[in-house]
Amino acid sequence: MQRRRTNLSSVFNIDDDGGGPSTSYSEREIHSQDNLLHMDFSEKNTCFADELKLWGTQRGTLLQKTINFMPSRFKRQLSLDSRHPPGLRDNDIDELAQQIEQNNQLMADNPLSRHLRIERIKSLPQTINIKREIKTKLSTSARSRSGSRRITHWERFKYSYRILRARVGACLANTMTNLEIWYGSMKNIEGHFGSGVSAYFKFLRWLFLSYCIVAVLCFGFIALPQLLLNKHQGGFKPTTMFKFLDIFTGEGYLATTVLFYGGYSNETISIIPKNTYNLPMGYFLTMICVYLITFIIMSVSMARSYRRTFIEASGITSTYADKIFCAWDFGISNEKMARLAHKSLFNEIREMLNELEMPEIEQTFLQKFWSIALKTSSHFLVLFMLAGLGVGMWTMLKYFGDIEDVTRSFSYLYLPIATNCIMLVMQMVFGYIAKMEGYKSPRTKVHVNLMRNFLLEVVIIGVLLGFWISDTKSQCWETAIGQEIYRLVIVDFVISVCGVTIYQITKSLLSRSFTFIGAPEFDISQASLSLVFNQTLFFIGLLYSPILPVIVIVKMILMFYILKAILIKYCKPPAKLWKSTQTHTLYLVMSFLSLLGVLVANGYIMTQVKVSQTCGPFRNFNFMYEIITLTIAKLTKDHLFWRFVVAIIRPAFIGCILLGMCVIVYYLRSKSRARIGMVKLLKEMLYMEARDKEFLLGHIMKLAQKSDGHTE
């Protein structure tokens, strides 16, 4: 025993008399590490050093007990069929269990105590078989202690309710996962092409679900009442015969239907006795609610994605361990899904390794100067091209005349065809410019292309919307704008989806005969621009075409299945994989900015642009917003609503609201900064705890190895 104590002193620098710490660096390091281990981060997290110290004071020293219980002590005697290391006696396990039983908080028969017991057992430096035996003994002891007090019916009901609620929640979560739209397709795409391409299709699915919500609201509160009114008045009577070309132009038969603004009346219907529905009021309030709900949903989604990507994931260095040990879904029972999950996990690990092993080439001063000058010149060139494009489009619109001057059916399509062709050409030019800039990371290249394509979409939509607002001389200019948006949506599907699909199929077939051509790759920036462009058109045209969501939903379904089929069969996986953790957030940011611009434009139209006096639900008003102001003006001064309005517009009340908002903003900002600091501190504490355990276990292993050498 004296020889063993000498070995312990040599490892931990402790005096042989069992005395105090020496002044060596190793002892001070152990003392500081031991203090860190005793930092109680929570009641559920207890370090194994506390357990060993409590146990060592009862029987022998801490270091002697550590030697006897270290698994490495019995490394040469382990066998596959042994219950626990043969050097460990059953009475030692009983003693360790008895030491834990002394803590009454851990031995209570409730879920919290069971969780604390498990955490305490996990912290022991023993094998899994020993921990299982200790857990069994402690569970039996806890049940025997609680047997003296009978469980009341109320406690039994609470436990049963908690178990039932947990099972129902797990069942619902599993059911929602199985019912998730396009779940299998997403896994298939992610397994073959990685998370970068999968992020685009997830964004498409998110937009599709948001469009479904908008379609239900618009059809239920705007289109359906008008259809019921038409039926009550003897049915819809079209002014012209239906032609197949009307599907692409929106003219003729479709111009007077509920598809566009001009097909809605300004009447008040009474389908149910003693209950009326004001169509203009319903139209206006539904649009306001739709835009408000969409803005809230998009803001929350963007904030959550930003928090997960930039706040919660910042400073995380255990990504590889998380992917390797925790990424596999053990609920997969299908062989096909298992293969897809395997490919997906394989691609994700490749993406991380590609970014980790990306060579860092040291550049000279001249090379750095040339790179910065080239990228700066490219940015100015792109801005100059966008400005020239805006001026050219405005000149083209003026040259071809007003919307009402077009007479032939095919002439209606010149604007959408020209717009989509310009977008395709400019995207190709931006792609060549990005190649010339020579970005090292493929993710950086994609992000730059996305931002440039987004600016291209902003310029095109801004010029078109500005020209339409300035040209309101037609008898029903709202319907004319709705028809232009409708044609842009249809032609965009024909060119951006069908045309690009034919090009990719042709290139893929040619690459099989001529290898120098190469199989096509999925262009994420071009496809993303199409989605953002469609979303902007959708929210602009919604005010003038309440049935537009149904058309866009059909288009999104066709887009998904066509692009998925082309991607799987004809496109090759990207040569360089990259992580997509920030790409989805960038998609949401672009969508949020486009929606914000649409809200500003529509707000200007509702309040500053006079409506048509010959069509639509607001034909009796000068501006759209007057439906609200004039309705409120009809109320008497003694009405409760008027008294409420008078109360809230007083300067004192408004000042209190502004002051309260300032206090809330300051509080939330301070709370956010404090939480960011706390998250950083907790991450550092967890990291230090792991280092502490590694440090102590390493010294204990050295101690055990030296003890084995002396005993032999």
pLDDT in tens, 481-532: 888 899 889 988 888 888 878 888 888 888 888 777 777 877 777 787 788 8
CB-based contacts of 111-114 (< 8 A; 24+ apart in sequence): 111/162, 113/142, 114/139, 114/142
What average pLDDT does the segment 603-619 reach? 87
Q: Which amino acid would we find at residue 686? A: L
Residue 663 has pLDDT above 90, yes or no: yes
Ordered by start, the domain boundaries in the chain are 186-619
Residue for token pair 């900002």: 669
Which residues have a Cβ under 8 Å from the Cβ of 52 and sit 6 or more positions away? Answer: 62, 65, 66, 125
What type of residue sits at position 602?
A: N
Q: What is the pLDDT, as a whole number, of residue 696?
A: 78
SS3 580: coil
Lowest mean pLDDT of 6-20, 97-111, 138-152, 500-514, name the range: 6-20
Exposed / middle / buried, residue 496 (Cβ in 10 Å: 0-12, 13-18, 19+): buried
CB 524 within 8 A of CB 200: yes
**Taking the alpha carbons of 10, 15, 18, 20 in that order, is the dihedral positive or negative?**
negative
pLDDT of 203 over the 70 cut: yes
- SS3 of 135-183: the string is HHHHHHHHHHHHCCCCCCHHHHHHHHHHHHHHHHHHHHHHHHHHHCCCH
For 237, list phi and psi in degrees, rounded to 5: -120, 100
Provide the CB-side half-sphere exposure for 209 (13 A, CA).
Answer: 11
What pLDDT, on a 0 to 100 scale, did the predictor assign at position 56? 45
DSSP state of 574: P
Contact 443, 582 (CB under 8 A): yes
pLDDT at site 314: 56
pLDDT band at 425 (very low <50, low <70, confident <90, very high): confident
Instruction: Tell me how crowded residue 139 is: count the other CB atoms within 10 A of its CB.
Output: 15
Does residue 143 or residue 591 have the better pLDDT? 591
Matching residue, tokens 């929350």 = 300
Burial of 634: CB neighbours in 10 Å, binned 0-12, 13-18, 19+: exposed
d(CA 331, CA 338): 10
Distances (CA, A) of 35 to 103, 110, 320, 682: 22, 31, 30, 16
First vs last Cα of the chain: how many Å apart?
Answer: 13
Q: Would the pTM count as exceeding 0.85?
A: no
- Local structure of 581: helix, strand or coil: coil
CB neighbours of 413 closer than 8 A, spacing ≥ 6? 248, 249, 487, 491
Lowest mean pLDDT among 98-112, 270-284, 310-324: 310-324
Query: Which one has a higher pLDDT value, 202 or 577?
Result: 202
What percent of the chain shows pLDDT beyond 90?
A: 6
Determine the Cα–Cα distance for residues 636 and 641; give it in Å rounded to an integer: 9
Residue 17 predicted with pLDDT over 60: no
Residue 601 has pLDDT above 50, yes or no: yes
CB atoms within 10 A of CB 328: 13
Of residues 157 and 174, more confidence is placed in 157
Q: What are phi and psi of 521, to 5 degrees?
A: -110, 155
**Paired strand residues for 269:** 277
Q: What is the pLDDT of residue 358?
A: 61
Tell me, what's the pLDDT at 607? 87
Q: Give the mean pLDDT of 401-414.
A: 56
Q: Which of these ranges, 28-32, 192-196, 388-392, has the smallest mean pLDDT?
A: 28-32
Amino acid at 107: M
Model confidence over 464-487: pLDDT tens digits? 888 888 876 667 888 888 888 998
Encoding tokens for residue 311?
């706040």
667 vs 661: CA distance, rounded Å: 10
The pLDDT assigned to 328 comes to: 74
Mean pLDDT of the region 458-469:
88
Report how far residue 538's alpha carbon sits from residue 552's, in angstroms, rounded to the nearest whole number: 8
Q: What is the DSSP letter of 661?
A: H
CB burial of residue 211 (10 Å; 0-12, 13-18, 19+): buried
Tokens linked to 463: 């010029």
Q: Which residues of 593-606 are buried (b: 16+ CB within 10 A; e: fewer)?
A: ebbebbeebbeebb
pLDDT at residue 12 tops 50: no
| Nearest-angstrom CA–CA distance, 350 and 574 | 12
